[in-house]
Chain A
Amino acid sequence: MSRLVRFVVLALCLVAGHGARSEPLPVPSGPVLLTVTGAIANRNSPEGARFDRAMLEALGMVELKTSTPWTDGVPTFRGVPMARLLDAVGAFGKTLHATAANSYAIDLDAAEMRRYPILLALEQDGRQLRLRDRGPIWVILPRDQYAELQSKSQDLKWIWQVRSIEVR
């Protein structure tokens, strides 16, 4: 009996998860801020999943307070958790090849990105990040919360002005 109940619950969870994942991405109505390509399940364009600000905000914004090597004090960032974005597109690759507006690019480890509450920040101290402020999307690592994220090599992962992510 209890085994049956457990099975049913598990099945429902799977269906729910699949449903969430298979929910079709809306088409961006505003300027596209981010394009996710490559190994993803959900797309809203031939090249991949394209997000405008509204779509990103709809994924759910969270706050993160941390210092950075490039700012003074401890700013408060708001944005979309990386894991949530990856879930939204149904990413199934191991590596995230992120490219910035200035053509700077870096390979990020997908598992690591999911392991920490890493943020695709859209706002800093209540203001939208502009291109000149290293926006509109800046990858923020919870540096103050995790000591292992404070080394110099970790600083390279703080890619700003992100335009696209290719899941590999």
Chain B
Amino acid sequence: MIDRLRRSATIWAIGLFVLVLAMAGLLVASILRYEQLQDRASISSPENAVWNSAQAELELARFLDALLLYGSGAPEGDAARVRDHFELLWSRVGLYQSGVLATAIAGRPDYLQLIEELLAALTATDAGLDALRPGDLAQARAVHARFRPFLARLREMTVQDLRRDMERNEALRGLHQKLTQQVFVFVSLFIVTAVLVVAGSVRSTRQMQRLFHVAAAARDDAEISRAQLRHAVTSINEGFALYDAQDRLVLCNDRYRALYPGRTDLIRPGALLAEIDRLAMRRRGQPAAPAEDRLEGGRWVLASDRATEDGGFVCIRADITELKRREYELTATKGRLEQQAAEMRALAEAAQQASEAKSRFLAMMSHEIRTPMNGVLGVLGMLADSPLEEGQRRLVATARASADALLAILNDILDFSKIEAGQLQLEPVAFSPAELVGGVADLWAVPARAKGLALEVEIAPDAPAWVRGDAGRIRQMLLNYASNAVKFTDAGRVTLAVGRRPGEAASPVLRFSVSDTGMGIPAARAAELFHDFRQLDASIARRHGGTGLGLAITKRLAEAMGGEVGFTSRPGSGSTFWVDLPLPAAAAPAPVAAKVEHGPLLTMDGRAPAVLLVEDNATNQLVARAFLDRLGCRVEIAGNGAEAITAVARQRHDVILMDISMPVMDGLEATRRLRAGGVAVPIVAVTASASAGDAERFRAIGMDGCLLKPISLGGLRAALAEALAGEPNTRPAATAGSEGKRMIIDHELLNGLRAEIGDEVVDTLVEAACNDLAQVARTCQEALAGADRPAARTAAHALKGIAAAIGATALSARAAAIEQAAKDPDIELPAAPDLAGLLAATLEGLTLATSGARAARSA
């Protein structure tokens, strides 16, 4: 519809334009014609000339009148007037001499002739005019006569000019007529055109109106759409801008403007994209992908730019400054949190490590304290066994009781530390719950009776005869409960019971409990009872002693066995503490032969066994020596591993009791060296903390048994008996007697020395030793040859010591044998013809070892 309208309007416009052009052409033609006419008129008609000739005639007439009047002597006559008129006439004629009039008459000879003659007459008259006297009529007539003919001639000129003028006017009229005709045609054409236009207009008015109506409606629709669009654009949350194909801004909303605070004035329709948004300009023509722009004002926008179908460009800007800020904060917060978490983890780990370190330290301290305690207890025990006066006996009994109490506390702490450090090892065995409970009751029977308490045992009918579990630990728990019950109950009874857990007849969970009729536990305190290092009252702790760890240990132990602890109590009327443990039923074990606690003295091939006690602690040395003495052993003591090696090289032993942790060289290293050196003497490890793993380890490096500290007499006897009964032949190394199989040089020992005291010292030592060895060996050989027993013994002893010190194992052993032989007058002195050979081999070996070590150093 609009197109049709536009087409018809275009046709009309073209038609009108053509008509206007035609009329304009006509008009121009007419004007040109008129111009020509004007030109011709101005060229052909010197109307000035006509006028001037008429004026000249008039002036001439006036001059002549004045002249005659003056000449006649009339009173009006005036010489000045004559002169004036003469001058005026001259000025009139003079006009022809120059300017436009001169040009006008240039082609007119008659005119030129007339003017020339007139000027001549004027010039001729000029001089005599003033001489003219009034009344001199003759003179006046003479002048008059001279000028009079010019009147007619000027008239003739005027007439001629007028005629020419008329002719010219005639021509002009013709031209005018022509022009009029043209104008008529022009006007007619115009009228026709106008009529056509009007007719056409009228004809199409209705259609036009209709079309206009439609167009208006369409325009209204478009306007509404545009308004809606504008409204939409204005009200959307994002900045919106539309650019045309030439990147000029078509429209945008206020939000878009607000994004460019510095350029608000610039952002108006027609503004260039490049001036407003350089970032967007850079993206122009690229595939549209949302981008995050940081604007000049520091704001962040999410820019979604899209090309439109007509080559324009739509920009949508979402303000994401706040989002960005939060994102940044989140990132920062996250970073902080992670950092905090890491710090917390590190702290927790550090705390954990510190805690473990503390536990280990506690455990170690407990050992360290327990060791002298053992010493004290052992000595006190020995003292109690010796003949004493009554007063002394009481003192010793008191000391033993105190030491026992102290040891109990230490044991508690050690237990707890072990549990804490995760070192607790359960050792399940088959046992009888009833027997266990009975045993605990027996232990507390005497103290209970002393307090006037009844101690009762209740074995439930459904209690299994045999179960499997760590009986020792369970006994510990019950002892703990029983101890508390006896301690805190002043009157009434203490009952130890065992049975299925109440209400769970078929369950494998057994409940061991200890009830009392004591003061009970306040409900408020119940929660803290099983906590670590807690006691209900500090004063109670002081009165009754104890670490307060008992219940905590009980709880930990129960948990380690998969059970739980608890209690019920009514303040004033007593409490019941129980521990529930899942204990599977077990078959009755085979009857065990009763161990001999205090058997006869130990013998070795009918003699007293030689025992090397390797122990750094003097107290332990004392205790162990005392036990060993009682067992009928001969004891040699070494302060550490190194001394032990020396001792072994020096003298033969039947068994070695080897403490594990010692200064200078520990038991493990010493064992390793002894075994490497071919020493086959049984070695029993003595340790305060031997786990199952430890025992394996000890065995792996060549130890034959393990004795736990604190050493008990029975334990010691059993360990020694086992070690002494062992088959030496089954050991991997050679027997003690076969010296020939010993190593010439103990390289390990030498290397150890090098590591301990440095290569230079060792080299010097070896060098010195070699000299000494040679000399002492010679002395020894001479003594042997001279059958000088004391000399041989001294020399052999020295030889043995020197050789042992530098790892000359074979030589040392040989010397030891000689020494041994020299000592005993019953034994025949060996001839020892091989001593020189052995010495030579030793020296060679030492030299090789030294040079080898040097080579290794310089390499």
Q: How far is the CA of A72 from the CA of B95 in the complex (A)?
A: 11
Taking CB atoms, residues of chain A closer than 8 Å to B102 are: 72
Question: With an 8 A cutoff between CB atoms, is A23 at the interface?
Answer: no
Q: How far is the CA of A135 from the CA of B100 in the complex (A)?
A: 19
Question: With an 8 A cutoff between CB atoms, is B461 at the interface?
Answer: no
Do the beta carbons of B99 and A131 come within 8 Å of each other? no
Contact with B along A27-47 (1 / 0, CB 8 A): 000000000000000000000
Taking CB atoms, residues of chain B closer than 8 Å to A69 are: 99-100
Do the beta carbons of A133 and B99 come within 8 Å of each other? no
Question: With an 8 A cutoff between CB atoms, is B167 at the interface?
Answer: no
Also in contact, A161 and B99, with CB within 8 A (given A101-B84, A131-B84): no
Do the beta carbons of A133 and B91 come within 8 Å of each other? yes
Chain B proximity of A74: nearest CB distance (Å)? 12
Q: How far is the CA of A88 from the CA of B87 in the complex (A)?
A: 30
Chain B proximity of A146: nearest CB distance (Å)? 19
Contact with B along A127-147 (1 / 0, CB 8 A): 000111110000000000000
The tally of residues in A whose CB lies under 8 Å from a CB in B reads 14
Q: How far is the CA of A72 from the CA of B98 in the complex (A)?
A: 6
Do the beta carbons of B98 and A161 come within 8 Å of each other? no
Contact with B along A145-168 (1 / 0, CB 8 A): 000000000000000110000000
Do the beta carbons of A70 and B101 come within 8 Å of each other? yes
Question: With an 8 A cutoff between CB atoms, is A2 at the interface?
Answer: no
Do the beta carbons of A130 and B87 come within 8 Å of each other? yes
Taking CB atoms, residues of chain B closer than 8 Å to A133 are: 91, 94
Also in contact, A134 and B98, with CB within 8 A (given A101-B84, A102-B59): no
Chain A proximity of B91: nearest CB distance (Å)? 5
Question: With an 8 A cutoff between CB atoms, is B602 at the interface?
Answer: no
Taking CB atoms, residues of chain B closer than 8 Å to A68 are: 99
Chain A proximity of B592: nearest CB distance (Å)? 139
Question: With an 8 A cutoff between CB atoms, is B567 at the interface?
Answer: no
Q: How many A-B residue pairs have CB under 8 A?
A: 36
Q: How far is the CA of A72 from the CA of B88 in the complex (A)?
A: 20
Also in contact, A72 and B99, with CB within 8 A (given A101-B84, A102-B59, A131-B84): yes
When C-beta atoms are compared, the residue in chain A nearest to B86 turns out to be A132
Interface residues on B, range: 10 to 19
Instruction: Give the interface SS of chain A, mostly helix, strand, loop or mixed.
Output: loop
Chain B proximity of A30: nearest CB distance (Å)? 15
When C-beta atoms are compared, the residue in chain B nearest to A129 turns out to be B91
Do the beta carbons of B91 and A132 come within 8 Å of each other? yes
Do the beta carbons of B94 and A101 come within 8 Å of each other? no
Taking CB atoms, residues of chain B closer than 8 Å to A102 are: 55, 59, 88
Q: Which of B84, B87, B88, B91: most chain A Cβ within 10 A?
A: B91
Q: How far is the CA of A5 from the CA of B285 in the complex (A)?
A: 73
Question: With an 8 A cutoff between CB atoms, is B90 at the interface?
Answer: yes
Taking CB atoms, residues of chain A closer than 8 Å to B88 are: 101-102, 131-132, 161
Contact with A along B66-107 (1 / 0, CB 8 A): 000000000000000000100110110011001111100000
Taking CB atoms, residues of chain A closer than 8 Å to B91 are: 131-134, 160-161
Taking CB atoms, residues of chain B closer than 8 Å to A161 are: 88, 91
Taking CB atoms, residues of chain A closer than 8 Å to B55 are: 102
When C-beta atoms are compared, the residue in chain B nearest to A132 turns out to be B90
Taking CB atoms, residues of chain A closer than 8 Å to B90 are: 131-132
Q: Which of B59, B84, B98: most chain A Cβ within 10 A?
A: B98
Q: Among A70, A130, A132, which residue has its beta carbon within 8 angstroms of that of B98? A: A70
When C-beta atoms are compared, the residue in chain B nearest to A75 turns out to be B98
Chain B proximity of A68: nearest CB distance (Å)? 7
Also in contact, A71 and B94, with CB within 8 A (given A101-B84, A102-B59, A131-B87): no
Q: Among B87, B99, B100, B101, which residue has its beta carbon within 8 angstroms of that of A132? A: B87
Chain A proximity of B46: nearest CB distance (Å)? 12
Chain B proximity of A57: nearest CB distance (Å)? 21
Q: How far is the CA of A69 from the CA of B49 in the complex (A)?
A: 13
Taking CB atoms, residues of chain B closer than 8 Å to A72 are: 98-99, 102
Chain A proximity of B728: nearest CB distance (Å)? 140
Q: How far is the CA of A132 from the CA of B102 in the complex (A)?
A: 17
Q: How far is the CA of A69 from the CA of B48 in the complex (A)?
A: 11
Chain B proximity of A34: nearest CB distance (Å)? 15
Do the beta carbons of A70 and B100 come within 8 Å of each other? yes
When C-beta atoms are compared, the residue in chain A nearest to B83 turns out to be A131
A contacts, CB < 8 Å to B: 68-72, 101-102, 130-134, 160-161
15 contacts between A and B (CB under 8 A): A69-B100, A70-B95, A70-B100, A70-B101, A72-B102, A101-B84, A101-B88, A102-B88, A131-B88, A131-B90, A132-B90, A132-B91, A132-B94, A133-B91, A161-B91
8 more CB-based (< 8 A) A-B contacts, given A72-B99, A131-B88: A68-B99, A69-B99, A70-B95, A72-B102, A132-B91, A132-B94, A134-B91, A161-B91
